[in-house]
Amino acid sequence: ASFLLLCFRSPLLTPLIFGLLLQAPLIQLSTITQPNFVLLLADDLGIGDVGCYGNHTIRTPNIDRLAKEGVKLTQHIAAAPLCTPSRAAFLTGRYPLRSGMDAVNDYRVIFWNAGSGGLPPNETTFAKILQQQGYSTGLIGKWHQGVNCESRNDHCHHPLKHGFGYFYGMPFTLISDCQPTETPEMDRAFRKKLWLSTQMIGLITLTAVLGRLTGLISVQWKALTCLTVFSLLFFISWFSSYGFVRYWNCIMMRNHGITEQPMVTDRTTSLILRESISFIERNKHKPFLLFLSFLHSHTPLLTTEKFLGRSRHGLYGDNVEEMDWMVGQVLDAIDKEGLKDTTLVYFASDHGGWLERQEGERQLGGWNGIYKGGKAMGGWEGGIRVPGIFRWPGVLPAGTVIDEPTSLMDIYPTVVHLAGGAVPQDRVIDGWDLLPLLRGAVVHSEHEFLFHYCGIHLHAVRWHQKDTGAIWKAHYVTPIFSPPGAGACYDRGFCPCFGEGVTHHDPPLLFELSQDPSEAKPLSADTEPLFDTVIRNIGRAIEEHRRTLTPVPEQLSVSNVVWKPWLQPCCGTFPFCWCDKEGDN
């Protein structure tokens, strides 16, 4: 009593005590068992596209509300700059090359539903562990981790084989080929070469036949027949896949069954939202994990009429604003069911915005704010620094901003720990449990080094020097922008990882990100006294990291990514694959 009297007599302590009494206390984690998880992952969304990350022209009030009510991460890093490898890392908590989900060639993502590559069955996703802990687990939206291995219905890479008890969405990814009115997007340059080759072979064949008929060329009919058959087989060999991309790749599934082939894009958004809310309502009386993997904001930017023309950034801005509205609908569903205080909500993007995605004067890709580069660039910040927001009322302090290096791979151990599970001990897990950092129990992230890959090629390394707070980043390989100085590879459509389209740096380019987040001013031994020390420390970290890598089958090898007709998911009798089971709903 005498202590309290002394405190209230002190003019300095009195306001402090009243402030502590007025502030809502954080709940002890020991009183909460198995919270719900709603993981919201955008597709191709740039960090500069969101209001709470500095965009003042695209309206994202619901995402901004998440940040206001929760914790915003300003240095949240994707493990890869493209969909397939980034999502593999997100699901497994491991760099994608550990599971064979990063590329040795130019095919850096899953290219076909009928390819044989995908997330290996021996990988343990966080969904699988939560399912073992008694959770209802659901994936709504994009998968892009493969479907089959050896036969059309083995579904060895399917979400239901990786711990999700319910799946509704695209086993592939949204592409412009899914929209009949849009210019084809998939392998566009290669398809042009195939068309040109077909025309040349056809012209040669026709010239030879006409020459034989007119007597100008002396050639046997047997040889002409063989040439004609070759021309026809060459055309069939590629047109049977690329000529029907919309039917082969643009499909919707519910669990193991196909519901739409091809998908009816006009209703995709409403169906995904309906399925997400329905999953929450069905599972409100038991712990659940909902992974809502948005098709927004990937081209062709499916946007309902209600949102067309609303933003100041054309179709792309309209699409982002619609996704934000969807986030709001999901949050409202959580509130309606009284689950707000027992649900951890997470929002992020799988990688940076696609700068090169343009059609004429239309910019169809995202914006990465002050950060250099974008999608497909493994080293530059614009390709890998993404929004990262957590909300859990009463557990995580509202309105908190954390400027520490974190990774999408950290979701794995964080979610597993909160669900009462244990991460696998028979493999390397690269993510760290974020809860102590999010709650303010620790000041620094557990990440000392982060390795930034482009395919299997190490492009850059980040070193968080915790004693000084410096964040060093060394670039060993960077893409060559085209045109020069443009900030992206507009002439190619994507920046490459290796070959003539990159520059190797020895010594590496070095930046101090806390002072130069835009990576505009590379340091040197002449301008930075610690240059040699930093490069040596990063070099030792690379050697240690490489000792943890073990050879695994390459899931994105050419033999695994090519279209195989016997693996093609089909809701009819192949090749007559067509159905619409949502049409009556």
One-character DSSP codes across 174-236: --GGGSTTSPP-TTHHHHHHHHHHHHHHHHHHHHHHHHHHHTSS---HHHHHHHHHHHHHHHH
Cβ atoms of residues 382 and 77 within 8 Å: no
144 catalytic residue (yes or no): yes
**In the chain, domain spans:** 36-174+251-444+556-580, 188-242
Torsion of CA 521, 525, 527, 529, to 10 degrees: 120
Cβ atoms of residues 558 and 106 within 8 Å: no
Q: What gap in Å lies between CA 518 and CA 491, rounded to an integer? A: 23
The torsion region of residue 215 among left (phi > 0), alpha (psi -120 to 50) and beta comes to: left
Contacts 24+ apart (CB under 8 A), 260-266: 260/579, 260/580, 260/581, 260/582, 261/569, 261/570, 261/571, 261/572, 261/577, 261/578, 261/579, 262/178, 262/578, 263/170, 263/178, 264/580, 264/582, 264/583, 265/178, 265/179, 265/300, 265/302
Q: What gap in Å lies between CA 564 and CA 149, rounded to an integer? A: 10
Q: What gap in Å lies between CA 53 and CA 47, rounded to an integer? A: 7
Q: What gap in Å lies between CA 152 and CA 565, rounded to an integer? A: 9
Class for domain 36-174+251-444+556-580, per CATH? alpha beta
351 catalytic residue (yes or no): no
Which residues does residue 36 pair with via DSSP β-bridges, in sequence order?
343
Q: What gap in Å lies between CA 153 and CA 351, rounded to an integer? A: 31
pLDDT of 458 reads 98
Output the pTM of the full model: 0.92
Cβ atoms of residues 84 and 144 within 8 Å: yes
The pair of structure tokens assigned to 162 is 């990786």
From 83, 250, 571, 577, active-site residue: 83
Q: Give SS3 for 65.
A: helix
Q: What gap in Å lies between CA 262 and CA 264, rounded to an integer? A: 7
Cβ atoms of residues 177 and 246 within 8 Å: yes
From 7, 52, 56, 144, active-site residue: 144
**Average pLDDT by stretches of 10, the chain with 585 residues:** 40 42 57 88 98 96 98 98 98 98 93 98 98 98 98 97 98 94 82 89 88 83 88 90 95 98 97 98 98 97 96 96 98 98 98 94 93 98 98 97 98 98 97 98 97 98 94 98 94 95 98 97 96 98 98 97 97 95 74
